[in-house]
Structure 1
Amino acid sequence: MKTTHADLAGKFIEDEPRTNWHDETLWFVREKRDKAAHGLPEWEQLREWGSQIKNATLSNLSNYLKEFEENALANGVKVHWASDAKEHNEIVHKIIKKHNIQKIVKSKSMLTEECHLNEYLHEHGIEVVDTDLGERIVQFRKEPPSHIVLPAIHLKKEDVSATFHEHLQTEKGNNDPQYLTEAARQHLRNKFVESDLAITGVNFAIAETGGFVVCTNEGNADMGAHTAAVHIACMGFEKLIPKAEHLSVFLRLLARSATGQPITTYSSHFHKPRPNQEMHIVIVDNGRSKQLGREDFRNSLKCIRCAACFNTCPVYRRSGGHSYHTAVAGPIGSILNPNLDMKANADLPFASTLCGSCSNVCPVKINIHEQLWKWRQVIVSEGYVAASKKISMKGMNFVFSNPKIYRLMGKIGRKSMQLFPFIVNNKLNIWFKQREMPVPPKESFRDWYLKNKKSQN
């Protein structure tokens, strides 16, 4: 049986103190984002520019991709095209085999997580070391990242200490963040020095120049790319922007939306391989063309992977990233992943309150909550919901469409819950599992309104 978001969220919230901590920590990041945005008078103008640049790019994508490829090739970069995750992994593997490479380091790349590159290479006897600190922690633990910017946000320093004690032989019970960070630094420094190949993601690719930009706070992408003889950059084609001058818009939006910083510590520009280095770019579709053709969902491809929607989402904050059972979790993942596999991810658009907070904070104005609602319609029409849900929704539709029946059912429901509270206060009611049910009202809002309206006349 497939494990759904609801099942996995249920496991996450069994640890109530950790759930509360996770919720508060992410909200703290959301507050930092708000302070950074409010400190920039032109914030809303930047959002509008970012949205329009992305719209224009998606509308002329084939031309910009050709322009990017021509300029990248002219720079001495080898360009590869992958239709899906399998082809992406095979291209990377082919490059590794060609050079007989044994030591590989990788900076954080959500595309390689989406394509399950690490698992693919591991099956072929090739070790890849993730060099982002959060990614390395979850790699040690054999877990996927739970957040696209903060991969180990679900873990506390005590968890990291125990993990490092097991894998790096650090002092048991030493939870000092500086001590743990230094241990990771020494461990990863050797990996960088020994590596033959570096794999990075791409935050922005510029059609005008054939170059690309990688944004990190730890400098791990730079350490890998500047020491290895071969550099492979992996990107979904939606990372493209037309001109170098557009970078100023997105670099001001990205870090403020992600962590509340004015800018990432490192915004590294790559245009050509250094002398005696080989540089490859793998441009991946993997369902993006299909999403581009869906009118209601195409602008989800504007996403710059800042995770602002994660940090504000009340469902994500209290259910954890692993409950989404996909590489990209949260609200944006819930509108991207049904496009990749509607059946496997049919539960995700329903993991939302449709409150709209995700759309409010999105730096490129993706209408995320509207797309979540629209995906629900598609999933139901395609038959990817449980029969019990379909029957209950049809019943609700009938009741809500008939005012007299609605009022009658309301009276029966209120009276029944007042006299027999065990009707709703039982384990069969999923709303009762983690919360106390509210006391049923003595009268409906309509009855209250009519009574008070008469008393005022």
Structure 2
Amino acid sequence: MAFAEKPPTTEGGSRHVPIRPSRGAGVHRPGLPAAPGGWAEPAGSPAAVSAPGGGPGRVVSPSAVGFREASARAVLDPALREAIRRVTDNLAVRRVQVTAELPHFDVLRDRAKRIKEHTLANLDRYLEQLEAAVRARGGHVHWARDAEEAAACVVRICREAGARRVAKSKSMVTEEVELNRALREAGIEPVETDLGEFVVQISGDRPSHLIAPIIHKRREDVAELFRRHLGTPADAPVPVLTAAARAHLRQAFLQADVGITGANFLVAETGTVVLVENEGNARMVTSLPRVHVAVAGIEKVLPRLADLAVFLPLLVRSATGQRLSAYVSLLTGPRGPGERDGPDVFHLVLVDNGRSRVLADPELREALECVRCSACLNVCPVYERAGGHAYGSVYSGPIGAVLTPALTGGRGLVDLPFASSLCGACRDVCPLRIDIPRMLVALRARAGQTAEARWERRAARVAAWLLCRPRLYRWASVAARVLEPVVRRVPVGALRRWARGRDLPRLSPTPFHRAARR
């Protein structure tokens, strides 16, 4: 997806809207197609430029520790595995129960798929329509090409509002752009008001699940945190802990100068921001502070308000196993004349941060259909054993194994596409039927073209060369039997990495060709 330069405006620099991608024959081809070499743009796709005016900039930050090392540590932690299994199993069972109540659930899935495919194919038009609708209702629209620009935009808005403290509701995209760090560096105190995100913040941790950020923590861990930060007893039961958090966060709502949220959906037709939650904190964040800033990826847009009748039942049932979440807020601009609640000022920050690159890629574009329900995480055997932190990114689980390499262009993350058994459970439960295994295979093909995989290709060529020369192959077999005890004790290089998760098979003392003669 490329961006076309528009006349400059007073907000967010130059306006840019995405040029819709090519609708050539390769856009929706079935099966598991071979990927192009390396990380170049796929053939037939337009060159991708990241959002307004320039290159992709800094995108989702990968962890310094790779998935292999992090997951190897995680699988040795039985308490972590049990905590993850308990929550994900519960969410998965509840999803099955509530989706069974809806006889036309699969019809909704098919309808949502068609809406998303149409929206992404016409994203430029719907983003322009969204911008016009927000402005018509008195709101302000800003375009951010990368994480740094998005964070800087929000910081600028907060400074212009004279904010010293901001209240935030749960938002994956603000985690993605590292907004809290940028706010702190600017001398502005961010307060996470979602209970799970609040625990993550005061513990200096990171979320490990898309909708359950502290899935990896025990009640005792939270009680100790609250004892240190809120003064509750070390053995306080859950109701006491939640009451203490409620009292503390209520002051944050009342003292906040700016409220910051994400968006589950953006409606192009009306300029509406849709927030889905269960705690009510997002409603407080958007009602009490004088300024509301919504930060959202450009893929969150839906064409019409009526489309929510399709997406809301799918999202809530797939995410939390509920028929409907406790709070669904539809926010359209700042408070109007005669209205008693809502902000005086509304800003919408539209973030690209690598999404234009993904939109221009016919093999990976489907990942932008994700509604962040986390259903794929809850059925993934790899996520259950490794946990979310092992992925080293804001986005974990099967969809994270696709999104993170896709948004970053694959830099330093060639191990994530292999963090899957390709069992297909993620595709089966996805409300939009996103074919995650197909995209993982495509990413694996690209990973095979990188410098990190060069030794594998060389080893394959050496093996092929030996197999074509029987005499040399027999001598190599003799050498392998002689060196086998040494290799088992001192594995080196790539063999060491290979042997970490596998038992080296013992070589037969009798070669096959001799045994065959007998």
The TM-score normalised by the length of structure 1 is: 0.87
Relative to structure 1, the CA distance from residue 392 to residue 308 in structure 2 (aligned partners, 3 Å threshold; closer, same or farther) is farther
Asked if structure 1 preserves the Cα contact closer than 8 Å seen for 2:83 and 2:217, the reply is: no
Query: How far apart are 1:28 and its partner, in Å?
Result: 2.2
Q: 2:345 aligns with which of 247, 254, 278?
A: 278
On the 8 A contact 1:343/1:384 being kept in 2, the answer is no
Instruction: Give 1:423 deviation, angstroms.
Output: 8.2
Aligned to 2:157: 95
Where do 1:100-249 residues align within 5 Å?
A: 100-174=162-236, 176-249=237-310
Choose the corresponding residue for 2:89, options 3, 27, 30: 27
The CA deviation at 1:439 is: 10
Q: CA deviation at 1:438?
A: 11
Structure 1 residue runs without a partner (length 5+): 443-457
Distance 1:334 1:76, change over 3 A: same
CA displacement, residues 38-85 of structure 1 (integer Å, 9 cap, x when unaligned): 221111111111111000000111111111111111111111111111
Alignment pair present for 1:299 and 2:366:
yes
Q: Give the SS at the match of 1:20.
A: helix
SS in 1 for 2:377: helix
> Separation in 1 of the partners of 2:380 and 2:232?
36
Contact 1:427 1:433 in 2 (8 A): no
Q: CA deviation at 1:2?
A: 3.8
Partner of 1:18: 80
Structure 2 residue 66 is the aligned partner of structure 1 residue 4: yes
How far apart are the structure 1 equivalents of 2:251 and 2:80? 34
Tell me the SS of whatever aligns to 2:448.
helix
User: Partner residue of 2:438?
Assistant: 370
Whether the 8 Å contact between 2:174 and 2:295 is mirrored in structure 1 is: yes
| CA distance, structure 1, for counterparts of residue 86 and residue 457 of structure 2 | 35
| Structure 2: distance between partners of 1:235 and 1:224 | 16
* Deviation of 1:282 (Å): 0.5
Partner Cα separation in structure 2 for residue 171 and residue 394 of structure 1: 64
The structure whose residues are more often helix, as a share, is: 1
Q: Does the alignment pair 1:321 with 2:383? A: no
Letter paired with 2:386: S
How is 1:282-431 mapped onto 2 (pairs within 5 angstroms)?
282-341=349-408, 342-381=410-449, 383-391=450-458, 398=464
Per the alignment, residue 148 of structure 2 pairs with 86
Structure-2 change in CA distance of 1:229 and 1:431 (3 Å): same
| Kept in 1: contact 2:448–2:454 (CA 8 A) | no
Paired residue type of 1:304: V
Aligned residue-pair number: 429
Q: Which moved more, 1:276-285 or 1:14-23?
A: 14-23
The question of whether the paired residues in 1 share the 8 Å contact of 2:83 and 2:215 is answered with no
From the superposition, tell whether residues 431 and 257 of structure 1 become closer, same or farther in structure 2 (CA, over 3 Å): farther
In structure 2, what is the Cα distance between the partners aligned to 1:227 and 1:49?
A: 37
The aligned counterpart of 1:55 is 117
**Paired AA for residue 131 in structure 2:** E
Structure 1 counterpart of 2:46: none
